[in-house]
Amino acid sequence: MDKEIQEKVNLWLSADYDQETRDAVAKLQKGDPKELSDAFYRDLEFGTGGLRGIMGVGTNRMNKYTVGSATQGLANYLIQCFKGKELKVVISYDSRLHSREFAQISAEVLSANGIYVYLFEDLRPTPELSFAVRYLKCNAGIMITASHNPKEYNGYKVYWQDGGQLVPPHDKNVIAEVNKITSVKQIQWEAKKDHIEIIGEKVDNAYLELVHGLTLHPEAIKKAKKLKIVYTPLHGTGITMVPKALNMFGFKNVVLVDEQSVPDGNFPTVKSPNPEEKSALELALKKADEVNADLILATDPDADRVGIAVRNAEGKMQLFNGNQTGSLLFHYMLSQLQETKKLNGKQFAVKTIVTTDLIRRVALDYNVECFDVLTGFKYIAEAILKNEGKKQFVVGGEESYGYLVGDFVRDKDSVSACCMIAEMAAYYMTTKSPNHQLLTDALHDLHCQYGLFKEALLSITEKGQEGVAKIQQMMDKFRSNPPKTLGGQPVVMMKDYKASRSYDFVNDSNELIDLPTSNVLQFFTADNSKVTVRPSGTEPKIKFYFGVVEPVDKKKDYDQVSKLLDDRIEVLKKDILA
């Protein structure tokens, strides 16, 4: 075994670590050498979004010691950053295994450093944590969650005083402090119990009141009494807030998927608790057919993402992807604000660079500025903060099923998104006289007006130490030898977000990209197709995003154009992997 790995293993077998941990390391030693190596070959990286990894013993795992180190580093930075001031941090957690334990450890370490902690009494969604940071006037927040990752994972997300996740310079500064924690002896473990306050209902009510205040058409909800909704929290935190919020909006015909309404970190009814995957919605789809529902809403374990399915003209439940739902939601918000004469040219919307460009076309049509930011909702939060007091944020979103309406939360919020999607369905059901309109019809109309945009995602998983190296090799190859053609079309532009340069191959020129650096590449072809390549920041994956577009003038041409675009995406997939 590598000498450095063996030294780490020996350290974790020392008296600096508790007996349970030492026993687990000893057991690992007797097992698969590759598993032992993977647990110790590196330190679990505290990235710009915090920690995320497989739970277990070892420096490359989520456990009490890696969580304690991260919290001590954060405490040190907060003390430096807010010298002489009383410090406050709020902590929440999801339904994953050990989430409550990691939240308690975080609270104890912070309190031991003299920081006052608000700890939620029970699991709560990520968006409520983001809200609570601002509501309780905290310096930071911690959310214990691995979002939609498989059950073996957990994570640790850090929020700054604006309620958004860490962005420059704080992300790198916190990372630097965490990296200085080289021994568990540097961690202050002895909690000050008078520095930990348990919170719950008061914050819940304040949050729900603001969610309810987002409604644009309460009269449409009253008319849409027949609208039936199936909701599943996928064993996660959504059960604490989404049913209450829908009820406050006036949606009384909500059917829960009972088997998935009990929080459970083992996620026993799904392979992966990810609403992006059809398999996660199988029980909801079955329930929807049993009760003849019009709409399915499904949230991930920490309730920041939402997946939907709607009943179409053929009477079947049709899944929408994140781009489709986002496009409809953006259009609904902007069109209704215009209808009520609330648009004055000072509003703005935000999307990520891998999210459908249909959203940009919609925003421009309503004279609403639309900002493109890097992948990650923290950059949407940063755009809100930069424009605070100058412009009004309306809506933001990303293709991975995350949306935000209003600015009292600074992360994606499935609680408010569920309510606004349901209201949107009610509006189309009741106001498109004489015949009510389905959300599938509304999406068709959107495409006929602005162009049929289609997107696809291809993810390749490369696990372990070898996988990390392989993914980096792929990125290096694309960067040093970019494709000349894709889908039979010449590549006319490449954007390299790591180099912060956009290269125009037609005019042999380049210009600066005014965004933070990121290991992302985009290729644009002559027919307006787009391929984005980026390693995942939270999973051992490299992701390929494909976007294509064609005009479609008549609904009768829709299927033909749709098939053309599907074929084009398949060719792009083959070309980029060739």
Q: Are strands 153-160 and 51-54 parallel, antiparallel or unpaired?
A: antiparallel
Do residues 421 and 297 make contact, with C-beta atoms less than 8 angstroms apart? yes
Q: Is 114 helix (H, G, I), strand (E, B) or coil?
A: coil
3-state secondary structure of 54: strand
**How deeply is 470 buried, as exposed, middle or buried, from its count of CB atoms within 10 A (0-12, 13-18, 19+)?**
middle
- Rounded to whole angstroms, the Cα distance separating 384 from 406 reads 10
Residues whose CB falls within 8 Å of the CB of residue 528, separated by 6 or more in sequence, listed in order: 548, 549
Per DSSP, the three-state class of 394 is strand
Q: Are 405 and 421 in contact (CB under 8 A)?
A: no
Neighbours of 475 (CB within 10 A): 17
d(CA 107, CA 196): 7
Cross-strand partners of 405: 395
End-to-end CA distance of the chain: 36
CB atoms within 10 A of CB 32: 9
State both tokens at 100: 């409550």
Residue 10 identity (one-letter amino acid): N
Q: Which of 147, 327, 518, 529 is catalytic?
A: 147
Q: Concatenated DSSP letters for 22-46?
A: HHHHHHHHTS-HHHHHHHHSSPPP-
The per-residue DSSP string of 212-275 comes to: HTT-S-HHHHHH-TT--EEEE-TTSGGGGTHHHHHHHHT---EEE-GGGSS--TT-TT-SS--T
Residue 44 CA neighbour count, 13 Å, CB half: 29
CA distance 227 to 229: 7
Active-site residue flag, 272: no
Supply the residues annotated as catalytic.
147
